[in-house]
Structure formats: structure tokens, C-alpha cells
Amino acid sequence: MEALLWRGLLALLAFVRYIDVEISTRRMKRPQKKTSTSSFGTSGRISHDSSRFYKSRLYEAQGKAAPSSVTENEIASDNLNRIFCKSSEAMEELPDQSIHLMITSPPYNVSKEYDEDFTLEEYRQLLQRVFKETHRVLVNGGRACINVANVGRKPYIPFHAFIAQDMIELGYQMRGEIIWNKGSSAGPSTAWGSWQSASNPTLRDVHEYILVFTKGEYGRNGKSRNSTISREEFLELTKSVWSFSAESARRVGHPAPFPVELPHRLIQLYSFEWDVVLDPFAGSGTTCLAALLTNRLFVGYEKKLAYVKIAEKRIREAQDNLARLTD
């Protein structure tokens, strides 16, 4: 009798356990509920359905990401991995749709030794000519990244806002804006206006912008192309605030170089191995250097011969170092 009772109890326990396992398995298999754009925010962002947002009237006037042409043209090998000493307003060395990524920092028109004394309108027109030419040479889905700082205080001139507006008018789609936090390396000025007084305090910028655009479609076909970004880098670089130090002008021999870190990050995030990277305002060749160090091809344009020579020297030294490492 006792044995019978024990057997019954064990059978009951086994049944309860079976039911428990079955319920948990079904719970795990149940598809995650999609979040959608709600009228009062949402905490979950897994499998988010944003179609309602993109159908809203806010997006009525926004151009759709339309493919230009899917053809990619090759650049003559003589014109690759070099810096042309001329204005990038006409880049006739480059066929249409031949560049995958443009990274640049335009002249700021603030009386640096290479700057012209343009009016704001003339300055915007120069950038428009160069970025129109860049649009011609970018492939469908190609990206354009522009590093820019705002200037002045009385009033503040928001170059980043003007450039974003001009790029959209040229037919680019804006994809985002990175705030480059230069931290203590920014050497913020001590022009604080009125010291500890609300009379006229002045902001001291410790940041610059990197504006990100695409031509044509948002995505690029990654088939038979190799991304070189690590998991950790991807998690970090897809955030919109980047912190790293500025470059020393004296060390490089150019009045306003950006650090290699800046184009390096953009190349890792936005291009595949052996893509072609363009810098139409190449200066001391930092973008070209970053391209070389990440197995990308490059083309640069720089008006001033002295800077082209500095860039070529930096590139030659990097090539020698790479050759020594592979020996």
C-alpha cells in the first residue's frame, strides 16, 4: 500500500514537472511583442516598428532615399592613392560614382594661413561647388562626413546648420550628427565674457561636429565585401558623442589638422575594406593616412603645395613602417 502511494506521488511530481517545463518553453518561444512609435514614448527598442512615424506628416516633404544608379565605376590606377594639388571644385580625375566614402574638414574661413577672406555667402558657395562635385563622384549609398566647428560669438555663426541645409539642397540625405567632445585638448579660450556674472557670459566650445550624409540609398550591399569593425568598436561608434583628443598643429606642420582617430572611426563605421575614400580638403593628408592604415584606397585634393608635401611625407613614412612590419 505504502509503495503504491509513493509511486502515485512520484508520478504526480513528474507530471507537475512536465507541465512546468512545457509552460516555460512555450513562454520562450512566444514572439517578442514589437514596439511601435507610441504617443507617449516607449522603453523597449527591440524589433521596433517605426512605420507609423515615417508615414506621419513630418516626413511628407522629405525626399525618399532613391537609388541613383547602382553602377560603380573604377578610378584609373594612376589616380588612386594620391593627392592632387588643385582645387576640388572640379575633380575630373574621378569618374561619376567611383567614391565610397568622403571624409573632410573644410577650410573655416577664419583667417588661418590658407583661408581666403570670403563673405559667408561666398564661403557657402565654395563648399556647395565642392560638395556638388562630391555628390557626382559618390556611388549610390556612398557616405559624406563633414567635420566642422562653429565660429564667433557676436553673433555665433552656426556653420554646421548652414552646411546641413546646403547638403540637403544638393540632394544628400542627412543620417546623423556626431558631437566630437575634445575635452581638455580643446584648450577652451578664457574669453568667458563677463566673469561670474549674468551680464554677458560666453560659451566656450569644447566640441566640434561631424555631419553624416548619404547619396541615394541608405544602405550598401555588403555581399562579398568585408567590414573591419570589431563588436566593441561598433557598440561605441554608433553612439552620437565621441570623445578623443585634438591633434597638435605644430607636430603635424599644418594649422588645423584633425587627429587620425577621426577619419579612422568613420572609415571603420562607414566603409568596407578596399573601398575608395576621398578627402577634397586634404590638408596634411590625415584622411589618406587613416585609409592606408585600414586597407582602404584614397584620393585627396589640396590646393597648397606645401601641405601636399607634408601629406606625402606622412604617407611615405606610414608605408615604410607597414613594409617594415610585414618584412
87 or 294: CB nearest ligand SAM: 87
89 or 233: CB nearest ligand SAM: 89
d(CA 127, CA 24): 60
CB 191 within 8 A of CB 202: yes
Task: Please choose, from the candidates 215, 217, 220, 218, the residue with its C-alpha nearest in 3D space to the C-alpha of residue 132.
Answer: 215
208 or 217: CB nearest ligand SAM: 208
| Rounded least distance, CB 182 to ligand SAM, Å | 14
| Rounded least distance, CB 223 to ligand SAM, Å | 32
CB-side neighbour CA atoms (13 Å) of 190 = 0
| Rounded least distance, CB 257 to ligand SAM, Å | 3
CB 171 within 8 A of CB 213: no
Cell of 31: 514572439
For residue 172, count other CB atoms closer than 10 A to its CB: 24
| Rounded least distance, CB 221 to ligand SAM, Å | 29
100 or 254: CB nearest ligand SAM: 254
97 or 287: CB nearest ligand SAM: 287
Chain residue whose CB lies nearest ligand SAM: 283
209 or 301: CB nearest ligand SAM: 301
User: What is the binding site for ligand SAM (CB under 6 A)?
Assistant: 87-89, 105, 107, 114, 254, 256-258, 281, 283-284, 286, 301-304, 307
| Rounded least distance, CB 267 to ligand SAM, Å | 14
| CA 319, 321, 325, 327 torsion-angle sign | positive
118 or 192: CB nearest ligand SAM: 118
Dihedral pair phi/psi, residue 230, rounded to 5°: -85, 165
Which helix (H) or strand (E) segment is 145 a member of? strand 138-148
| Rounded least distance, CB 244 to ligand SAM, Å | 14
Strand pairing class (138-148; 207-214): antiparallel
Burial call 131-150: b when 16+ CB within 10 Å, e when fewer: bebbbbbbbbbbbbbbbbbb
| Rounded least distance, CB 92 to ligand SAM, Å | 13
From residue 284, alpha-carbon distances to 31, 73, 94, 187, 271 in Å are: 53, 27, 21, 21, 22
CB 227 within 8 A of CB 275: no
Task: Please choose, from the candidates 276, 285, 326, the residue with its C-alpha nearest in 3D space to the C-alpha of residue 305.
Answer: 285
172 or 258: CB nearest ligand SAM: 258
| Rounded least distance, CB 258 to ligand SAM, Å | 5
146 or 217: CB nearest ligand SAM: 146
| Rounded least distance, CB 287 to ligand SAM, Å | 6
